Structure 1
């Protein structure tokens, strides 16, 4: 719940040790409801957010970060104000990509507050304030006191996860092969499959370049219904504006023959695709987007290979954090009462 850290630094008064710095640890779960929010501060990879180097940085235009905020900042700013500190660390039980939502019961995290000046804080009120400030983007649940050891548990415990993906299959809805592909995908449901994944290019800068064996299990594959385009209602006859004058016939722009041919052949039309909703459970450390697309052969087998058609993940949501083997995870209960004294429930 709270801890102290001794510093090696000495003050200028003759060698006395600097006062110990207190630490507080809060634990809870967060639900990320949008697709533009990283878990921790997303510093610019070029200038690293350094106050001097970020000046004139073309990558981040001097901002120092590639996103406006993060889960860490949205939680830490509110908690820091309540506890009287600007310094904090955020420890999550894994992390999702910036464009992936974290739904279900949320992802466990520990917020480490450094050097707080206030210790008596109503955590229920703090949780409500975090959620009020971030409605529609972020939600925190079950905020309670915890200890330093929980950071190690969260970091070192492997978690299987459940996902729901919106998958674009490069087959037209009326194509007979689309029905065959859907049947092939549904035949995978209910069986655990072993795959081999080579490090994807998108994470090669921070992950070892090697093969990894993982298990995956498809839970359901559903065809997403086609959405009819909305047609704007015709304006009322009596609401039509009067025309001052008819445009001159010779003022009409000439139609480019090449453009006319392209339009007639449907060159500008988007390629026809079928969309599926795929639910799956995967082992800790699985690159889920690549399980679907195959990542140019770096993940095998993959959904695209199994159904015999190119496909890719369009949207992805984490829907559950599980235990290592894919079972339901035990949820740590919060403190028993809103007015419980500091440290109760640890």
Structure 2
């Protein structure tokens, strides 16, 4: 399990324990913090205590200092370091016989005590149970219930921004009360360990045990989203007063808060909004200490209501890509529905996406291709590069799974499409593919009709074309979905091949810059594309059939 910054990996357990306890304030201060409602883990983290103490199953007031007795170091040594208070007066601070009832922590709102509201029920470990294990067992069961197959996990935690205000309130409370004492001058709020990091250390080891996989950087994410309605509203109200906000805005805040309360899920969603949280953090940082003390309660009030916890288990998108060939002129590239009526017989997107999604057991998919072809254009040659982005895949397919997937697609009865080089690829292929869409070359073959017989001079003009720049105004047929503008494109080369038995038909082979509209380059689109085949040959030209024959992108081969 990973520790926090400054872990003393080379120290012995006993010396690490003593070093950790040396970070704590004197016993009377700890007793004071406990009495105002600060939990044991918040006391440890606010004073920068490092290491694995957070993962102890219980950190109640009576156990906070009993940690000392577990050290190999003698009690005499501990006493000399001021870490193990002796005598009846000192011991009374942490009497095991007097165990006050535990409210939710006034700083972390119960997050580090592993208490929260889930739906309409409050989760609290049964008496005598291990709160960390109980919590992680609940998470593990939910993950397994959703059918996730994982090889590791990463924790993402979202907390209410009011916790930052609570931490500041505690520090200012201690400053007002203990500023004259030597120990306080040695402490710095910047050493405080965040609630997020403390929670990760607390539960990651237990989660590893229950899930049977390691905690670290991984594509599978466990996201814990904590929200607390009452304190969040109070925070906004206090900030509004501190910033001199007018009464109308305050009433809007209260009205919004009432609306949020109608639906707990809304509250959790709002808590996720990073922009809002960032604005609150910035507003808190901008307040001077005297202004903060005037508008916030020092120390924070004890909290009875637990946070609302929303959990999300998801895998970062996985990408399966390769090249596809399309043999039918009645199959669109993407799903095409107009007025509830399907255009064409199928789509490449649906054929590939449905098969891949079935194997990956994901929530949804997105289809991405290196360029487009019209429904009546076949995709031949080596095929067009594509990616299928699968969201929240429960299963990452093996090489054998992908081979079986490709065989199933290629053996389809309709044989609309075929796939090549299908494989699991990294997200970097996304940028490579879009780079190829915009910058690479593509080759086409088209059957062209002209209004007069094709001459040898026409063939010479076409065959001698090399790196010819054309200007294409947005074609009429795509004006409904693309902004009107002129685009420069390059025709790298062209060749004309006569068709036996016909003088006005020929086969045009051409290689162009990606993004060139080939149909418009042939017929001119009422002069919107210039020059074009018609203007080059000085006659009317039409395209009858078009095939894409090659899309040059080596990274997909």
Q: Normalising TM by the smaller chain, what interval?
A: 0.5 to 0.7
Match of 1:217 among 474, 492, 495: 492
Return the TM-score normalized by structure 1: 0.68
Counterparts of 1:309 and 1:91 in 2: how far apart (Å)? Answer: 38
Counterparts of 1:43 and 1:3 in 2: how far apart (Å)? Answer: 34
1:149 aligns with 2:428: yes
Q: Is the 8 A contact 1:91 1:155 kept in 2?
A: no
Per-residue CA deviations over 1:217-275 (Å, capped at 9, x if unaligned) read: 34320111228xxxxxxxxxxxxxxxxxxxxxxxxxxxxxxxxxxxxxxxxxxxxx721
Counterparts of 1:110 and 1:279 in 2: how far apart (Å)? Answer: 27
1:166 is displaced (CA, Å) by 0.4
Q: Is the 8 A contact 1:185 1:306 kept in 2?
A: no
Residues 81-160 of structure 1 aligned to structure 2 (within 5 Å): 81-85=358-362, 87-121=364-398, 122-133=401-412, 136-157=415-436, 158-160=439-441
Gaps of at least 5 residues in structure 1 are 45-58, 172-177, 228-272, 323-328, 334-346
**Counterpart in 2 of 1:169?**
450
1:199/1:120 CA distance change after superposition, 3 Å: closer
**Counterpart in 2 of 1:183?**
457
Counterparts of 1:143 and 1:134 in 2: how far apart (Å)? Answer: 20
Counterparts of 2:392 and 2:322 in 1: how far apart (Å)? Answer: 20
**Counterpart in 1 of 2:321?**
27
Which is greater in Rg? 2
Counterparts of 2:422 and 2:524 in 1: how far apart (Å)? Answer: 39
Q: Is the 8 A contact 1:30 1:109 kept in 2?
A: yes
1:291 is displaced (CA, Å) by 0.9
Partner SS, residue 188 of structure 1: helix
**Counterpart in 1 of 2:542?**
312
Counterparts of 1:220 and 1:133 in 2: how far apart (Å)? Answer: 35
1:155/1:310 CA distance change after superposition, 3 Å: same
1:274/1:224 CA distance change after superposition, 3 Å: same
Counterparts of 1:179 and 1:111 in 2: how far apart (Å)? Answer: 44
Counterparts of 1:152 and 1:291 in 2: how far apart (Å)? Answer: 28
Counterparts of 2:518 and 2:355 in 1: how far apart (Å)? Answer: 33
Gaps of at least 5 residues in structure 2 are 1-217, 227-263, 266-305
1:29 is displaced (CA, Å) by 0.7
Counterparts of 2:487 and 2:407 in 1: how far apart (Å)? Answer: 41
Per-residue CA deviations over 1:132-177 (Å, capped at 9, x if unaligned) read: 1265310011111112222232123322211000001122xxxxxx
**Counterpart in 1 of 2:554?**
330
1:14/1:185 CA distance change after superposition, 3 Å: farther
1:94 is displaced (CA, Å) by 1.3
* More strand per residue: 1
More relative contact order, 1 or 2 (CA 8 Å, 6+ apart) = 1
Q: Is the 8 A contact 2:325 2:380 kept in 1?
A: yes
Return the TM-score normalized by structure 2: 0.43
1:311/1:29 CA distance change after superposition, 3 Å: same
**Counterpart in 2 of 1:261?**
none
